[in-house]
């Protein structure tokens, strides 16, 4: 064979193939391979992530929708194998949805607010996109569900409009039973009979001064008796009301009294007059009275469903709130925020409402499901306790301002109409028409922030107050 005919210097046998190609068009142009350039390497290796499959585990910030005929089926199957079929959301048609849901970034570093047990719940994201560190959420505080002491209180009346229990700053409990007032020392458990009004009169309200030395007693006849609690001696009697005096409230110097005659009287022990001022604004019996902690404002509640706020410079209420739909007996001023007032409504209302007396508006309303009989704010922590009547007869502990329920205490068989707090702010006593007084450890101490396990010389058991 003549090798010169193979002018292209192709391998033997390729010439005939080329002759077939030339009969169609022309010879193909074979591009020349450029000579490789010299590659300079640095000390860092940055990988290219364009071909990686981060979207498989939803690590990418944003992902493009899956194309038809792409890897979406593979991604679904892989995710199902790793996390189970329950991790795949259903589409509107009932099929398993794509794992590329923008709301299911499983491994993103983000606080999960929906899970209270999340270990990252103490990390919050600010508005600028950064993170700010805070302390982890603490578990709920444990509150004993049973009273640590129970006292029998014979003849304790089941009357919503009376206020027959009060606890002095000197750790002495005053209780009105029928026509008598008894004093019970929480330190020594000693019971003392303070007075007996006789068969023609009855006890309607008791209230200690802030110093705990003197006790004011409201009677069925409308009088107010002042007693020296240390010497068990009556100091004076003040008149002015025409019918029973069911609620009393001391400020530093003045005593306010509310009556079924719809009036609120102000008394000053430094003067010889029975009273020095009269507030007339309620259209029915006055059953709730509380001075603010700075003595500037007096809140009153009545059977006319009104909550009124008074000051010393006016004979008319400076604020009038009419949102309650039942009698307002439960009233409490916050010791932690000036101008914050809480009130509770009766059976037809069942709500605890919070008011700002500085802005003259309602801040919050919580339906408790039962008649609200009393409210008391803790001086140690921003919590409050409420007692209830129809139909649960329970004691409830709340966290403010979230109003999350900390505990519900049961044990009374009738309405929990009476409430008082110990001097250290840790223990409350509740009274009901079932003729019992029950002592509960509900609030932490001011320093330790843990509930008191004992108080004074108390021991678990049941005894008599007289």
* Between 330 and 61, the higher pLDDT residue: 330
- Mean of pLDDT values over 208-218: 97
- Mean of pLDDT values over 231-243: 96
Alpha carbons 119 and 116: distance in angstroms, whole number:
9
Distance of CA 111 to CAs 62, 107, 137, 254, 291, Å?
A: 19, 11, 13, 53, 44
Model confidence at 18: pLDDT above 80: no
Model confidence at 14: pLDDT above 90: no
Going along the chain from its start, the domains and CATH numbers come out as 161-280 (2.130.10.10), 328-447 (2.130.10.10)
**pTM of the predicted model, to two decimals?**
0.69
In this prediction, residue 120 carries a pLDDT of 30
In this prediction, residue 225 carries a pLDDT of 98
- Mean of pLDDT values over 88-92: 47
Model confidence at 451: pLDDT above 60: no
Alpha carbons 364 and 366: distance in angstroms, whole number:
7
Q: What is the pLDDT of residues 333-360, one digit of tens each?
A: 999 999 999 999 999 999 999 999 999 9
Identify the DSSP state of 96: B
Counting beta carbons within 10 angstroms of the beta carbon of residue 200, is it exposed (0 to 12), middle (13 to 18) or buried (19 or more)? exposed
Q: CB of 404 within 8 A of CB of 396?
A: no
In this prediction, residue 15 carries a pLDDT of 46
Which of 341, 334, 338 lies closest to 320, judged by CA?
341
pLDDT > 90: what percent of the chain? Answer: 64
Place of tokens 């004691």: 395
Alpha carbons 394 and 175: distance in angstroms, whole number:
21
* Between 34 and 116, the higher pLDDT residue: 34
Q: Per the structure block, which two tokens stand in for 10?
A: 């192709």
Alpha carbons 283 and 308: distance in angstroms, whole number:
12
In this prediction, residue 138 carries a pLDDT of 65
- pLDDT band of 77, cuts 50, 70, 90: confident
- pLDDT band of 49, cuts 50, 70, 90: low
DSSP per-residue string spanning 143-202: --SS-SEEEE-TT----TT-B-EEE-TTSEEEEEETTEEEEEETTT--EEEEEE--TT--
- pLDDT band of 89, cuts 50, 70, 90: low
Residues 277-314 as b/e (b if ≥16 CB within 10 A, e otherwise) read eebebbeebbbbbbbbeeeebbbbbbbbbbbbbbeeee
Model confidence at 315: pLDDT above 80: yes
Model confidence at 169: pLDDT above 50: yes
Q: What is the pLDDT of residues 273-300, one digit of tens each?
A: 999 999 999 999 999 999 999 999 999 9
* Between 312 and 304, the higher pLDDT residue: 304
Q: CB of 340 within 8 A of CB of 332?
A: no
3-class secondary structure, 44: coil
Q: What is the pLDDT of residues 375-407, one digit of tens each?
A: 999 999 999 999 999 989 999 999 999 999 999
Model confidence at 106: pLDDT above 90: no
Alpha carbons 427 and 449: distance in angstroms, whole number:
13
Counting beta carbons within 10 angstroms of the beta carbon of residue 37, is it exposed (0 to 12), middle (13 to 18) or buried (19 or more)? exposed
Place of tokens 């603010």: 292
Q: Per the structure block, which two tokens stand in for 195?
A: 């007075």
Model confidence at 37: pLDDT above 80: no
In this prediction, residue 127 carries a pLDDT of 40
* Between 70 and 255, the higher pLDDT residue: 255
- Count of C-beta atoms within a 10 Å radius of residue 99: 24
């Amino acid at each position: 064979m003549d090798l010169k005919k193979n002018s292209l210097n192709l391998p033997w046998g390729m010439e005939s193939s080329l002759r077939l190609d030339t009969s169609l068009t022309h010879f193909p142009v074979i591009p020349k391979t450029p000579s490789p350039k010299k590659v300079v390497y640095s000390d860092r290796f940055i990988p290219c992530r364009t071909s990686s499959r981060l979207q498989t585990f939803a690590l990418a910030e944003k992902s493009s929708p899956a194309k038809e005929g792409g890897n979406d089926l593979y991604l679904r199957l892989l995710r199902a194998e790793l996390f189970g079929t329950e991790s795949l959301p259903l589409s509107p048609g009932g099929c398993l949805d794509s794992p590329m849901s923008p709301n299911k970034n499983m491994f993103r570093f983000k606080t999960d607010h929906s899970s209270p047990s999340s270990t990252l719940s103490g990390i919050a994201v600010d508005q600028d996109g950064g993170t700010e560190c805070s302390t982890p959420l603490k578990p709920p505080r444990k509150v004993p569900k049973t009273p640590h002491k129970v006292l029998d209180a014979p003849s304790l009346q089941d009357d919503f409009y009376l206020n027959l229990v009060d606890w002095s700053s000197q750790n002495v409990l005053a209780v009105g039973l029928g026509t008598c007032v008894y004093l019970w020392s929480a330190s020594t458990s000693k019971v003392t009979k303070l007075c007996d009004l006789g068969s023609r009169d009855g006890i309607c309200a008791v209230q200690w001064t802030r110093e705990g030395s003197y006790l004011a007693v409201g009677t069925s006849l409308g009088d107010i008796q002042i007693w020296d609690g240390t010497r068990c001696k009556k100091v004076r009697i003040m008149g002015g009301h025409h019918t029973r005096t069911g609620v009393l409230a001391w400020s530093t110097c003045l005593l306010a009294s509310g009556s079924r005659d719809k009036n609120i009287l102000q008394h000053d022990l430094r003067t010889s007059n029975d009273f020095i001022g009269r507030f007339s604004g309620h259209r029915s019996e006055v059953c709730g009275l509380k001075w603010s902690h700075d003595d500037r404002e007096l809140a009153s509640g009545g059977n006319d469903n009104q909550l009124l706020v008074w000051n010393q410079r006016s004979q008319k209420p400076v604020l009038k709130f009419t949102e309650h739909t039942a009698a307002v007996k439960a009233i409490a001023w916050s010791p932690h925020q000036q101008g914050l007032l809480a009130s509770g409504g009766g059976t037809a209302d069942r709500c605890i409402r919070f008011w700002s007396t500085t802005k003259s508006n309602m801040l919050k309303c919580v339906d408790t499901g039962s008649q609200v009989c009393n409210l008391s704010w803790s001086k140690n922590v921003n919590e409050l306790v409420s007692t209830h009547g129809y139909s649960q007869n329970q004691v409830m502990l709340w966290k403010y301002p979230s109003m999350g329920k900390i505990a519900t205490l049961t044990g009374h068989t009738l309405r929990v109409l009476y409430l008082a707090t110990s001097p250290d702010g840790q223990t409350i006593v509740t009274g009901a028409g079932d003729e019992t007084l029950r002592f509960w450890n509900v609030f932490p101490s001011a320093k330790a922030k843990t509930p008191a396990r004992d108080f004074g010389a108390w021991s678990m058991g049941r005894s008599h107050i007289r």
